[in-house]
């Protein structure tokens, strides 16, 4: 028999690999579904790529790759009939080391694991372990797979703190007595005036931007340049500095570090913050108790989660919960809401088979595949089934039953890859993640139906020069309406004043603070504050050809199909504690914003001249003749994201060589233009415009034609020449990436050529919604109905917990991690982000 097995495996030996250091072994989650070894069909792990596949999807991988040998993992779960006084005995196979979705931590289950090799296409099975009969290489490979750690072990909360060590510079750091004091807000980089990803050097108090990241966030690396000039080693990130969190980086040690004396080091620069500690988590959430002596927000926690009520659990399609991975509820709530929207359902779940068929060889790294997988997991009902228990067990355990839900480890690893905040295991701002996901959808929807069209709208900005009274109207694209919450407009203002007086008196006399009073703000006051004019700092008047005082007002140039409204609840106070204002807003179920539609230039108004302010470039970015050069390294950095190289070069040029972050914003704003990927055409001194391609006045364009040998390789594989050229251009002439690009775009190209045939799937728009070359805008009436909202519990977006409520089938449903129940009292007045859908005009 041993000889027979050896001979049987000989043809497949070249395809069987032993996992090496750095290889990820996916043995707890299918790449296309949320099947696991616990599922009915178990999980098949490819013995070459180590990707996991459920029974429904393993055949697809076999057909695409020809890989025949898989390890089948199966966990058999049995109910223990004697519930009372029984002891759970796990009969794990010692080498499986499975990490599954359900926690079998009660005493009603008994588990038994098994593993075997399966050879496709005949499904020939070889039970494991089988040391004597299998070739040595196969035995070693099987043992290595079975003993490998989870592919996402590094994401687990316990591993975060273990990887960070105390800096060798922390206790001996010398701080300069230069009088620098850092305010609690309003920071910007001292070299490029960026206002995000800012780092405070702990030696001299310099505030500078960090490095640039692939998703378009980050900066121009001035903090690192400062270290090279000064050798001042430690810096702390200002953007997310809280009493519980401090991101500290050592440029000298080239890694994130801890600073036990961070409180004293911050106080040196006027940042009076309480000692910062890296708190643990409780049930996956940061402890939300306030550490500054104020009372914990117990009532908020209970009201938002509807604690103490007998909530009825619901199951089935659209009622699937999401497991909390440890402070991942910000992600889960956003995804629950997005996949309750038909446009996202249609774009990903409606095209599921096509997306899967054209997925790359490693589907765990493909955004469309993982979005389709997530949408199907939430909407199929396969992972939201009621408990199947005997009458006795149901009576005993009914209060403790935990729905299975789905775990988004693979999805989180993909969408957070390379991001300095979302890749951590700390709580994050749900609003920032929403915009981050919108950005990812935008970049991965080229040629496909773009569900972002449902959120996109145009903002009309009117800026008036206070000295000349002349105006300028401009439009910009936006996806989210930020609504101020004016405390001064609170209906219980007298009560708030009295509470503040009592609180101050209690502090002076060192007594317990009084019961907090929540501000009640009318929604109409929030809308009024949104329309109020605001001062424009550093306004440049084209009439005066100089800086002048200016005021700006904003209106809707178009109304989106789905309106996202964020209540601005969070602010920094003088003592540097990021405080969430405790307020209640009477959010309406129906909203009419028609009066906020912009009107454009009015009779009697005079426009400011259409002149561009002079670009003042830093000395180190100016060319020899006063014009910016093209930073090829920055262009390549953008091209690696999948943008055409020529578009990246133009972006670097037209943003004055100010770095990839600025260039990335230019790309997003111009990617719909017809000449987006055309070679850079340098303007003459008379032409200040950003694009003169095709004008006939251009200088010699920079070449970006793919090598003919690369085109020949792709065309020899049967791909059309036009698609081959386009794929190479989109991937910077990388053959392997171009091949993946073709697989994911070929059908999209065919759809573009036959768009009339798919008009039934296209969203209708108003005749004048947008220019054909501009972003797609779905304008319509400004009347809306509330259908979802996300609430935050805690004092800071960097801690606490998120819960969402979604209206389905006429009933409000609460999604609290894996628990999905009918809502009894949806706390609409305490929400953080609200989602409205447009009412039909009828």
Cβ-based neighbours of 725, under 8 Å, separated by 6 or more? 705, 706, 711
Q: What 3-state DSSP class applies to 824?
A: coil
Catalytic residue among 723, 801, 805, 818: 801
For the stretch 472-475, contacts whose Cβ atoms lie closer than 8 Å and that sit 24 or more positions apart, written own/partner, are: 472/542, 472/607, 472/608, 473/598, 473/600, 473/601, 473/607, 475/557
Which burial class, exposed, middle or buried, applies to 393 when counting CB atoms under 10 A from its CB (0-12, 13-18, 19+)?
Answer: middle
**Cα end-to-end span (Å), the chain:** 75
d(CA 429, CA 792): 9
- The reply to whether 30 sits in an annotated binding site is no
β-pair type (583-585, 519-521)? parallel
d(CA 2, CA 428): 55
Cβ-based neighbours of 842, under 8 Å, separated by 6 or more? none
Structure tokens at 772: 């054909």
**Alpha carbon separation from 556 to 458, 477, 531, 674 (Å, rounded):** 6, 10, 11, 26
Q: Where are the alpha helices (H) located in 380-454, listed in sequence order?
A: 391-397, 409-415, 430-443
Cβ-based neighbours of 303, under 8 Å, separated by 6 or more? 825, 827, 830
d(CA 258, CA 169): 10
Q: Is 329 a catalytic residue?
A: yes
Cβ-based neighbours of 444, under 8 Å, separated by 6 or more? 367, 368
d(CA 573, CA 563): 30
Catalytic residue among 46, 329, 804, 821: 329
- The reply to whether 111 sits in an annotated binding site is no
Q: Would you say 544 and 465 are in contact if contact means Cβ atoms under 8 Å apart?
A: yes
d(CA 47, CA 67): 8
Residues with active-site annotation:
329, 801
Instruction: List residues forming the annotated binding site for Zn(2+).
Output: 189, 192, 209, 222
Binding residues: 189, 192, 209, 222
């Amino acid at each position: 028999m041993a000889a027979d097995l050896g001979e049987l495996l000989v043809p497949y030996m070249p395809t069987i690999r032993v996992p090496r250091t750095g290889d990820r072994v996916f043995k707890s989650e299918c790449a296309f579904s949320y099947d696991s070894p616990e599922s009915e069909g178990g999980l098949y792990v490819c013995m070459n790529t180590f990707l996991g596949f459920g029974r429904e999807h393993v055949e697809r991988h076999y057909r695409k790759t020809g890989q025949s040998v898989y390890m089948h993992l199966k966990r058999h779960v049995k109910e223990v009939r004697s519930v009372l006084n029984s002891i759970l005995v796990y009969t794990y196979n010692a080498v499986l080391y499975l990490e599954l979705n359900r926690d079998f931590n009660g005493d009603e289950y008994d588990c038994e694991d098994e593993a075997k090799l399966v050879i496709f296409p005949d499904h020939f099975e070889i039970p494991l372990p089988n040391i004597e009969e299998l070739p040595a290489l196969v035995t070693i490979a099987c043992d290595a797979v079975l003993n490998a750690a989870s592919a996402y072990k590094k994401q687990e909360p316990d591993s975060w703190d273990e990887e960070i060590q105390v800096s060798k510079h922390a206790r001996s750091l010398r701080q300069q007595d230069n009088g620098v004091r850092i305010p609690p807000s309003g920071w910007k980089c001292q070299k490029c005036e960026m206002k995000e990803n800012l780092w405070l050097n702990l030696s001299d108090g310099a505030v500078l931007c960090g490095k640039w990241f692939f998703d378009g966030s980050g900066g121009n690396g001035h903090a690192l340049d400062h270290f090279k000039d000064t050798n001042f080693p430690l810096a702390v990130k200002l953007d997310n500095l809280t009493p519980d969190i401090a991101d500290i980086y050592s440029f000298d040690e080239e890694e994130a570090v801890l600073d036990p004396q961070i409180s004293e080091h911050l106080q040196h620069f006027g940042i009076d913050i309480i000692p910062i500690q890296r708190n643990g988590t409780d049930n996956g959430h940061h402890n939300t108790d306030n550490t500054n002596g104020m009372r914990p927000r117990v009532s908020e926690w209970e009201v938002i989660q509807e604690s103490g009520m007998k909530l009825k659990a619901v199951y089935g399609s659209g009622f699937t919960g999401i497991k909390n991975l440890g402070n991942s509820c910000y992600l889960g709530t956003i995804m629950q809401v997005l996949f309750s929207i038909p446009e996202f359902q249609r774009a990903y779940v409606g095209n599921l088979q096509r997306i899967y068929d054209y997925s790359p060889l490693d589907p765990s790294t493909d955004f469309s595949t993982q979005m389709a997988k997530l949408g199907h997991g939430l909407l199929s009902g396969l992972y939201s089934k009621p408990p199947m228990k005997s009458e006795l067990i149901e009576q005993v355990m009914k209060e403790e039953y935990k729905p299975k839900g789905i775990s988004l480890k693979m999805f989180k690893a993909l969408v957070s890859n390379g991001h300095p905040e979302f890749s951590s295991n700390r709580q994050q701002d749900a609003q920032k993640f929403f915009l981050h996901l919108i950005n990812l959808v935008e970049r991965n929807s080229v040629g496909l139906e773009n569900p972002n069209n449902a959120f996109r709208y145009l903002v009309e900005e009117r800026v008036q020069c206070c000295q000349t009274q002349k105006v300028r109207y401009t439009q910009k694209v936006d996806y989210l309406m930020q609504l101020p919450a004016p405390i001064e407009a609170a209906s219980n203002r007298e009560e708030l004043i009295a509470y503040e007086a009592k609180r101050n008196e209690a502090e002076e006399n060192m007594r317990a603070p009084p019961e907090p009073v929540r501000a009640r703000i009318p929604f109409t006051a929030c809308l009024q504050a949104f329309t109020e004019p605001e001062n424009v700092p550093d306004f440049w008047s084209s009439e005066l050809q100089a800086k002048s005082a200016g005021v700006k007002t904003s209106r809707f140039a178009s109304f989106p199909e789905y309106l996202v409204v964020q209540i601005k609840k969070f602010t920094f106070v003088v003592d540097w504690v990021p405080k969430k204002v405790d307020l209640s807003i009477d959010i309406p179920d129906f909203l009419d914003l028609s009066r906020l539609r912009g009107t454009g230039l009015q009779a009697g108004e005079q426009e400011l001249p259409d002149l561009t302010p002079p670009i003042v470039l830093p000395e180190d970015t100016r060319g020899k003749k006063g014009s910016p050069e093209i930073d090829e390294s920055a262009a390549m950095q953008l091209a690696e994201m999948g943008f055409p190289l020529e578009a990246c070069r133009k972006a670097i040029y037209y943003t004055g060589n100010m770095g990839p972050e600025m260039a990335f914003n230019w790309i997003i704003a111009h990617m719909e233009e017809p000449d987006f990927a055309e070679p850079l055409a340098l303007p003459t001194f008379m032409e200040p415009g950003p694009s003169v391609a095709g004008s006939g006045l251009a200088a010699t364009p920079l070449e970006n034609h793919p090598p003919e040998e690369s085109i020949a390789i792709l065309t020899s594989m049967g791909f059309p020449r036009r698609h081959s050229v386009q794929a190479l251009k989109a991937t910077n002439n990388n053959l392997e990436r171009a091949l993946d690009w073709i697989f994911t775009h070929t059908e999209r190209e065919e759809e573009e050529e036959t768009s009339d045939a798919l008009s039934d799937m296209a969203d209708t728009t108003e005749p004048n919604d947008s220019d054909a070359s501009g972003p797609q805008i779905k304008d319509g009436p400004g009347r809306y109905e509330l259908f979802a909202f996300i609430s935050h519990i805690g004092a800071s977006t960097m801690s606490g917990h998120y819960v969402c409520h979604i209206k389905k089938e006429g009933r409000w449903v609460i999604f609290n991690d894996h628990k999905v129940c009918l809502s009894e009292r949806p706390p609409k007045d305490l929400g953080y982000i609200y989602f409205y859908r447009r009412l039909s005009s009828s």
